[in-house]
């Protein structure tokens, strides 16, 4: 081979178009007449757009952030209170959300949009977690994306010191107050060898509201959009 031959770059990847493709593919997960759990972030906002006027007919949604609730209402989709839905014994068959990173076991880092706590609550209330991502979110090992930790403001330094003791470098997300009135520490440098064990450890510290590891309950299915098309991967034991 001519060592000076130029390798032509492929066509540029439009990440937004990939996010929309993943969002559109998730429409078939929506159960007509049931309430759908809706996450947060730009991919989810595209999912809400696709839901609006699409063929899927959910009864409404429970939402994981004020922003998603606004978008849902603007799209004419009723937003239900989670407590009321559960008290009435209604089913929540599916939760649709994005991720900042997802690994081969469908463990995730979430919280780039600071909605991690409500995302974990709504995900826990739903029967099936369908994660929608463009291929750039897929990693062999979690940890390149800074790990968000939502903390009670008065516990910020206490939690930061414990994160440093684990080898992490926490940074306060400037100017961000979560929907729950709390702060976010973004942590780099942690060794995430065992995501579920780290999630359990950090979640138990006083002052931690939620760590952005979703490993004890990861996704059941991930819908990945790439230049090659749509790929679905299921967690072991989950329906594809």
Q: Are 178 and 212 in contact (CB under 8 A)?
A: no
Number of residues that bind ligand 5RP (CB under 6 A): 17
Cα end-to-end distance, the chain, whole Å: 43
Q: Is 45 a catalytic residue?
A: no
At its nearest, how many Å lie between ligand 5RP and the CB of residue 91? 23
Exposed/middle/buried for 233, CB within 10 Å: 0-12, 13-18, 19+?
middle
Q: Verify binding: residue 112, ligand 5RP, rule CB under 6 A.
A: yes
Q: Which is nearer to ligand 5RP, 102 or 159 (CB)?
A: 102
- State the helix-helix crossing angle for 66-74 and 42-51, rounded to 10 degrees: 20
At its nearest, how many Å lie between ligand 5RP and the CB of residue 114? 6
Q: Which is nearer to ligand 5RP, 90 or 217 (CB)?
A: 217
At its nearest, how many Å lie between ligand 5RP and the CB of residue 113? 3
- Which residue shows structure tokens 């979430």? 110
Site for ligand 5RP in 116-175 (CB under 6 A): 116, 119
Q: Verify binding: residue 99, ligand 5RP, rule CB under 6 A.
A: yes
Question: Among the options 29, 45, 50, 119, which is catalytic?
Answer: 119
Q: Are 213 and 199 in contact (CB under 8 A)?
A: yes
Nearest partner of 63 among 87, 90, 44, 91, judged by Cα: 44
Binding site for ligand 5RP (CB under 6 A): 39-43, 97-100, 110-116, 119
**Which are the catalytic amino acids?**
119
């Amino acid at each position: 081979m001519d060592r000076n031959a130029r390798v032509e770059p492929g066509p540029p990847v439009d990440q937004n178009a990939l996010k929309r493709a993943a969002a559109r593919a998730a429409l078939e997960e929506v159960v007509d007449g049931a309430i759908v759990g809706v996450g947060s972030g730009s991919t989810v906002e595209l999912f809400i757009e696709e839901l609006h006027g699409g063929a899927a007919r959910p009864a409404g949604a429970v939402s994981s952030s004020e922003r998603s609730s606004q978008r849902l209402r603007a799209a004419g989709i009723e937003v239900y209170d989670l407590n009321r839905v559960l008290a009435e014994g209604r089913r929540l068959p599916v939760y649709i959300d994005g991720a900042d990173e997802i690994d081969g076991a469908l463990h995730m880092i979430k919280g780039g949009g600071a909605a991690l706590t409500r995302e974990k609550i709504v995900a826990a209330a739903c029967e099936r977690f369908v994660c929608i991502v463009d291929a750039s979110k897929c990693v062999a090992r979690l940890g390149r994306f800074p790990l968000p930790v939502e903390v009670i403001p008065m516990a910020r330094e206490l939690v930061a010191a414990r994160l440093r003791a684990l080898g992490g470098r926490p940074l306060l997300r400037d100017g961000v107050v979560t929907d729950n009135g709390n702060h976010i520490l973004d942590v780099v440098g942690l060794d995430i060898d065992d995501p579920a064990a780290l999630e359990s450890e950090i979640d138990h510290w006083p002052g931690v509201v939620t760590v952005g590891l979703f490993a004890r309950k990861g996704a059941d299915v991930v819908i990945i959009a790439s230049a090659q098309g749509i790929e679905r991967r299921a967690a072991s034991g989950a329906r594809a």
